[in-house]
């Protein structure tokens, strides 16, 4: 049997990636941190200086950031924190309707519980929305923020140039929600992943078995999030009063709605730094780990 160079390279990178992830997990075991009414699953790498706190998006858990965190841990000595948001994986499940304000409160309490006065907050997808609200509501705790494609679709509302993108996303989200509510868990999950978030064929091409299993198990939390009356109550223009640096990461191969959001955020925020990752989509933190880590490193350096 003959394997192409690309396949051999991909297999080698996959093995190396698995080893790196296992190494980071072994050195920083998952444990629970109580924040009052909930326990959050946390991985905490100790270090010196201002901590870096990663916030994952919907469906997945802290593992979505683990490869990027490992790379950063080899280049800087800052403390690094990854955690499962309430309702995800190891953390306390939702017992009633959750809100984005609750997610922000959990993040503030976790940061304080770990003994930190300030942190660099890095969010992906809905986790980036949480980081934006954190920075506007609690600017005193955020040293800087990095946002990987926040789905702040509200900034596109009533803008005719984005009508097509908004219609496509709204239709796909409605279909996904309907399927999930009828019990079609896998079909509804894949509908969202491929039509709203990561693009065609991403279910199999971007994610591994662990991620797919986690997503299927997280559908109730996403349904809860979709019913949150506060989820659209985010005002990115308030970040103009934020004193720390703001970095927006965008993939050049993302579905059209995310570059559209990025363009509007650039128009609303005076000092935002935009970093594009060539060839990456909404899942660039998984598919383009080195490039994502480098963009974050540059952001941290610019904040000094």
What is the H or E stretch that residue 122 is in? strand 119-124
302: tokens are 């610019």
The neighbour count for residue 143, using CB atoms within 10 Å, is: 20
- In tens, the pLDDT along 81-120 reads 999 999 999 999 888 888 999 999 999 999 999 999 999 9
pLDDT, mean of residues 227-234: 83
pLDDT tens by residue, 30-41: 999 999 999 999
Alpha-carbon span 210 to 88, nearest angstrom: 14
In order, the DSSP letters of 28-83 are S--EEEE-SS-EEEEEEE--SSS-EEEE--SSS-GGGGHHHHHHHHTT--S-EEEE
Tell me how far apart the alpha carbons of residues 179 and 275 are, in angstroms, rounded to a whole number. Answer: 36
pLDDT in the model for residue 20: 52
pLDDT of residue 233: 73
Residue 14 has pLDDT above 50, yes or no: no
Report how far residue 197's alpha carbon sits from residue 172's, in angstroms, rounded to the nearest whole number. Answer: 10
3-class secondary-structure state, position 146? strand
pLDDT score of 6 more than 60: no
**pLDDT tens digit sequence for 180-221:** 999 999 999 999 999 999 999 999 999 999 999 999 999 999
Residue 234 — very low, low, confident or very high, per pLDDT cuts 50/70/90?
confident
pLDDT band at 121 (very low <50, low <70, confident <90, very high): very high
Task: Name the residue with tokens 């350096």.
Answer: 301
* pLDDT band with cut points at 50, 70 and 90 for residue 146: very high
Residue 16 reports pLDDT greater than 50:
no
Sign for the pseudo-dihedral over CA of 216, 278, 128, 35: positive
Per-residue pLDDT tens over the stretch 247-304: 999 999 999 999 999 999 999 888 899 999 999 999 999 999 999 999 999 999 876 6
Give the separation between CA 149 and CA 128, rounded to whole angstroms.
7
Q: Is the distance from CB of 275 to CB of 298 less than 8 angstroms?
A: yes
Is residue 11's pLDDT more than 90?
no
Residue partners of 191: CB distance under 8 A and separation at least 6: 172, 175, 176, 179
pLDDT confidence of 18, banded at 50, 70, 90?
low
Share of the chain above pLDDT 90, in %: 82
CATH superfamily label, 23-157+234-302 = Alpha/Beta hydrolase fold, catalytic domain (3.40.50.1820)
């Amino acid at each position: 049997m003959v394997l192409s160079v690309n396949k051999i390279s991909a297999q080698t990178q996959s093995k190396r990636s698995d080893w790196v992830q296992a190494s980071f997990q072994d050195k920083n075991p998952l444990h629970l941190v109580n924040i009052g009414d909930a326990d959050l699953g946390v991985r905490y790498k100790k270090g010196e200086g201002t901590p870096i706190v990663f916030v994952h998006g919907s469906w997945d858990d802290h593992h979505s950031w683990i490869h990027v965190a490992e790379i950063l841990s080899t280049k800087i000595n800052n403390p690094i924190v990854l955690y499962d948001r309430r309702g995800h994986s190891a953390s306390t499940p939702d017992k009633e309707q959750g809100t984005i304000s609750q997610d922000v409160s959990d993040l503030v309490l976790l940061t304080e519980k770990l003994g930190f006065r300030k942190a660099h907050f890095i969010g992906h997808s809905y986790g980036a929305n949480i980081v934006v609200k954190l920075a506007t509501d609690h600017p005193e705790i955020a040293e800087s923020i990095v946002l990987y494609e926040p789905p702040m679709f509200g900034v596109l509302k009533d803008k005719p140039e984005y009508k097509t993108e908004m219609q496509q996303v709204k239709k796909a989200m409605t279909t996904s929600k309907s399927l999930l509510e009828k019990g079609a868990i896998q079909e509804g999950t894949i509908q969202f992943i491929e039509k709203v978030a990561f693009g065609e064929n991403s279910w199999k091409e971007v994610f591994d078995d662990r991620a797919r299993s986690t997503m299927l198990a997280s559908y109730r939390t996403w349904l809860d999030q979709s019913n949150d009356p506060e989820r659209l109550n985010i005002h990115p223009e308030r970040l103009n009063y934020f004193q720390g640096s703001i970095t927006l990461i965008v993939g050049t191969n993302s579905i059209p709605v995310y570059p559209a959001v990025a363009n509007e955020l650039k128009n609303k925020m005076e000092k935002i730094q935009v970093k594009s990752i060539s060839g990456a989509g909404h899942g660039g933190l998984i598919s383009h780990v080195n490039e994502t880590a480098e963009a974050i490193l540059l952001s941290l350096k610019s904040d000094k």
